[in-house]
Amino acid sequence: MTSPRDESPTATNSNPSSTPRHRILVILGTRPEAIKLAPVIQALRSRPFCRALDTLVCVTAQHRTMLDQVLNAFEIQPEFDLDVMRPGQALSDLSSRIIGALAPVFDEVKPSLAIVQGDTTTTICASLTSFYSGVPLAHVEAGLRTRDMQAPFPEEANRVLTSRLASLHFPPTDWAASNLREEGIRDETIITTGNTGIDALFQTRAGLEAGKLASVAPQLRGGKKLIVVTAHRRENLGAALDEICRAVLQLSRRDDIEILWPVHPNPRVRKTVRETVCGRANVSLLEPLDYVSFVDLIQRAHLIITDSGGIQEEAPSLGKPVLVLRETTERPEGVEAGTVKLVGTGTATIVREAIRLLDDEDEYGRMARIRNPYGDGRASSRIAQRISTFLGV
C-alpha cells in the first residue's frame, strides 16, 4: 500500500530569524482516546519537541462528561471543542456532525500533521477529514485486528480504514505491527512503541503513590473481595448485556465479595443494568469514575469483569485477572500473558469462571501476575521522536 502523503511536509510559518514551527493537530473524542493521547500531547509539548512544534488539540466531544473527566485529570485545555455529543447518538448522524465541524478546523489550522488514536467514530472521521485536506496522518495504537468486521462493531472497520489513510503508524506491540505489514503497509512507516495507555497508567499510579493525585473511589468494608465490572460494547447491547447482568446477579449472592460497577452513560446500557441489577445487595452501581479514581479502584480489585479494550491492557501491568465479556479480542497479548481470559457473554460461563478465580487460589495465582505486554510507559516519547523526524525538525 502507498500512503497518501509519504514525503515530509514543510513548516507552515518559516521565519529566517527563528526556528521554523510546525503545527500538529491532535483530534480526540472519547474517554479512551483522551487517556491514550494525553501522554502524547504532553510529550509533544515538552522539551525538546516544543521548540519546533505547536501542538493544538481539537476535541469532537463524541463523549462529553467522560471526556471532560480525562481532560481535567491531565489538565488539557483544547483549542477547539466541537461539542457534537447527543444522547443515544446514531453512528451516521455522529459521523456527519464530526466531519462537518472538523473540516473548518483543518482549514484554519493548516496543520503539517494530524494525529488520531484507536478506532472510534472520531478516529475514522478525523482520518477522512485529514485525507480530504491533504494533511498527513499519524495513527496511535495502529494494527489491532480481530479480522471480523462485526466484532467489535464498528471499531474493526474504523481501524482498518484508518490504516489505509495514515502516513505514520504507531502499533503498540510486535503483533500489531505484523498485522500492518501483512496489509502491505511500508515497514519504514511503522514504529512499534508500546501502548500510550500504559504511559498514562504508570504516570497516574505514581501520582497516587506520591500523594499528588487523589481518588474518590469507594472503599470496601469488612475485608470483602472487590469485583469491578464494566460493559458498553455496541455488539453486547441487548441480549448479551442481559446475560452479563444475570451473571452479576448470581455472583452477588456470595457474601465474601462486593461488586462495583461504574455504569457507562449510554442510555441503552443504563436501562438494562438498572432494570436487572439495581438495588441488589453487594452490587453498587456508580457513575463513571474519573480516571485517577478508576486506576485506584482497579489496583484494589481482586478481579475485573469487562468488555473494555483499555482495561484489558491495564490489568496485566497491575497483575489483576480479567474476564473479558467477548468472544474475540484484538488484544491477544494479554491472553497469551495469562492475565486475561475470554469468557464471552453467557451467564453460566461468566459465573463459573468468576467462581473458579474466587475459590481456586492456584488458578488465581497463575492469572494475577504482573506482566507488561503492552509497554514500558515510554511509548509517547518514542512517538514524539518519530513525529519530529517525520517533520524534519
In 3D, which of 170, 86, 161, 83 has the Cα closest to residue 129? 161
- What part of residues 267-296 is at the interface with ligand UD1 (CB under 6 A)? 267
**What, of ligand UD1, ligand UDP, none, does residue 267 touch, CB below 5 to 8 Å by kind?**
ligand UD1
In 3D, which of 310, 237, 244 has the Cα closest to residue 277? 244
Give the contact letters, 304-333, x = binds to ligand UDP (CB under 6 A), - = no.
Answer: ----xxxx--x-------------------
> Which distant-in-sequence residues (6+ apart) come within 8 Å of 49 by Cβ?
43, 384, 387, 388, 393
Q: Is position 230 an interface residue for ligand UDP (rule: CB under 6 A)? A: yes
182 is catalytic: no
Amino acid at residue number 155: E
In 3D, which of 262, 208, 211 has the Cα closest to residue 232? 262
169 is catalytic: no
> Which distant-in-sequence residues (6+ apart) come within 8 Å of 285 by Cβ?
261, 263, 273, 274, 277, 278
141 is catalytic: yes
Give the contact letters, 126-165, x = binds to ligand UD1 (CB under 6 A), - = no.
Answer: ----------------------------xx----------
Compute the distance between CA of residue 53 and CA of residue 44 in angstroms, rounded to an integer: 7
- What part of residues 23-42 is at the interface with ligand UD1 (CB under 6 A)? 30-32
- What part of residues 68-127 is at the interface with ligand UDP (CB under 6 A)? none
**What, of ligand UDP, ligand UD1, none, does residue 266 touch, CB below 5 to 8 Å by kind?**
ligand UD1
Choosing from 186, 232, 371, 378, the catalytic residue is: 232
63 is catalytic: no
174 is catalytic: no
> Which distant-in-sequence residues (6+ apart) come within 8 Å of 80 by Cβ?
56, 57, 58, 59, 105
Give the contact letters, 85-124, x = binds to ligand UD1 (CB under 6 A), - = no.
Answer: xxxxx-----------------------------xxx---
Compute the distance between CA of residue 194 and CA of residue 196 in angstroms, rounded to an integer: 6
Q: Is position 265 an interface residue for ligand UD1 (rule: CB under 6 A)? A: yes
* For residue 154, cis peptide bond before it (omega within 30 degrees of 0): yes
Angle between helices 91-109 and 121-132 (to 10 degrees): 40
Q: Is position 262 an interface residue for ligand UDP (rule: CB under 6 A)? A: yes
Compute the distance between CA of residue 254 and CA of residue 389 in angstroms, rounded to an integer: 56
DSSP string, 278-299: TT-TTEEEEPPPPHHHHHHHHH
CB of 69 to ligand UD1, least distance (A): 8
C-beta nearest to ligand UD1: residue: 120
Number of residues binding to ligand UD1, judged by CB under 6 A: 23
Unique residue bearing C-alpha cell 455529543: 85
Choosing from 22, 31, 54, 119, the catalytic residue is: 119
Q: Is position 289 an interface residue for ligand UDP (rule: CB under 6 A)? A: yes
Name which of 121 and 127 has its Cβ closer to ligand UD1: 121
Q: Is position 380 an interface residue for ligand UDP (rule: CB under 6 A)? A: no
Number of residues binding to ligand UDP, judged by CB under 6 A: 16
DSSP string, 19-42: ---EEEEEEE-SHHHHHHHHHHHH
Q: Which residues pair with 58 in a beta bridge?
A: 27, 80
> Which residues lie near ligand UDP (CB under 6 A)?
31-32, 35, 197, 230, 232, 262, 288-289, 291, 294, 308-311, 314
Residues annotated as catalytic (active site), given as ranges: 119, 141, 155, 232, 234, 264
> Which residues lie near ligand UD1 (CB under 6 A)?
30-32, 62-66, 85-89, 119-121, 154-155, 232, 234, 265-267
